[in-house]
Amino acid sequence: MRRYDILIAGIGGQGVITLGTLLKLAAIRAGVEVTGAERRGGAQREGRVTSHVRYRTLEPEEAENPRRQAFSGLIPRGGAHMVIALEPLEAARSLALMNPDTVVISEVAPRTPTAVRLGSAEYPPVERIRDWIAEVTPRGCLVGLEAASRERFGSLRQVNVIALGLASALGQLPVPDEALLETVRERLPGFDANREAFVLGRELAGTAGGSIVSPATK
């Protein structure tokens, strides 16, 4: 069996669910079997939201093996091939799913939790978060996705598609870029900007190996 497991993490309102849906719809388009559980934050904002995206391809001899039929929606501990985090603290909270081969793509700009806002907790410096990830995998990068989107497109609307571009460049996604882009075209408004965002993501990937790509903005 070939698997490819991606965890997407972030907070309510950032588009975690949308990003997961894009990656899954692309699999349907490409004829790859997919599943994955979502943790939804309710209708409210600010809570942690995750989407598990699990691709698999059964070998022909496994097709009738009853031990390989059920397809669970949860990535097991240490099982993620890739983690996409739309917020650095949520990348850190996803450490348990990482292993030494995991590709980690994380937004670098923090979103302040209420506890920090109220002064009852401190937000760790992003350099520390980078180091925690490096304790598990050398393939982590913190990228200014929001800064890049704001700079090029004047809003945060392209953040998720930039992340998709990075994912396509840094990982071995079992779905081809064409399937991803066709899905983006079908599901999101403004395809020209999104295609540009995807390319931008791929370009950022070239400079992203294991480092903080853009300065941390608070």
Partner 1 sequence: MNPLASSESGRAVLAMGNEALARGGIEAGLGYFSTYPGTPASEVGTVLQGLREEFPGLYAEISTNEHVAALGALGASWAGVRSMVAMKHVGMNVAAEPFHFAGYTGVRAGMVVVLGSDPGATSSTGEQDDRWYSLHTHLPVLEPADIQEAKEMTRQALELSEAYDLPFVVNAPSKLCHNIGTLRLGPLPERVTYRGGFERNPERYLNLFDLAVKNHGRCLANVERLRADAGRLGLNRVIPGRGRVGIVCSGLLFAYTMEALEILGLDDVPVLKVGMSYPLDPRLVTRFLEGLDRAVFVEELEGFLEFQAKRWAYDAGVRVPIVGKELFPATGEVDVDRVTDALAEALGGRLPHDRRRGSEALERHRAEMPPRQGAFCPGCPHRATNFALRRAAGPDTVFAGDIGCYTLSVLPPFRVSDWVTCMNCGAGSGQAIAQVSDDPVVALVGDSTFFHSGVPTLLNAVQNGADLVLLILDNRWVAMTGHQPSPTTDRLVNGTPRKAVDLVGFVRSLGVEWVRRADAFRVRPLEVLLREALAGSGVRVIVVEGECALQSERRRKGALALQEEWVDLDPERCQRCHRCYRDLACPAIREEEGAEGPVYVIDLGLCQRCGVCEEICPNSAITRTRVRRGRAA
Q: Out of 24, 81, 139, 202, which residue is the one contacting partner 1 (CB under 8 A)? A: 24
Residues in 43-72 that interact with partner 1 by CB under 8 A: 43-48, 54, 66-72
35: Cα within 13 Å, side-chain hemisphere:
10
Q: What angle do CA 192, 49, 53 make, to 5 degrees?
A: 65
118: Cα within 13 Å, side-chain hemisphere:
4
162 forms part of the interface with partner 1 (CB under 8 A): no
What is the contact mask toward partner 1 in residues 118 to 157, using x (rule: CB under 8 A)? Answer: xxxxxxx---x---x--xx------------------xx-
> Looking at beta carbons only, is 190 or 203 nearer to partner 1?
190
Strand, helix or coil at 204? helix
98 forms part of the interface with partner 1 (CB under 8 A): yes
CB neighbour class for 133 (10 Å; exposed up to 12, middle 13-18, buried from 19): buried
18 forms part of the interface with partner 1 (CB under 8 A): no
117 forms part of the interface with partner 1 (CB under 8 A): yes
Compute the least distance from the CB of residue 135 to partner 1, in Å: 5
Compute the least distance from the CB of residue 163 to partner 1, in Å: 17
Residue 66 neighbours by CB distance under 10 Å: 6
Strand, helix or coil at 161? helix
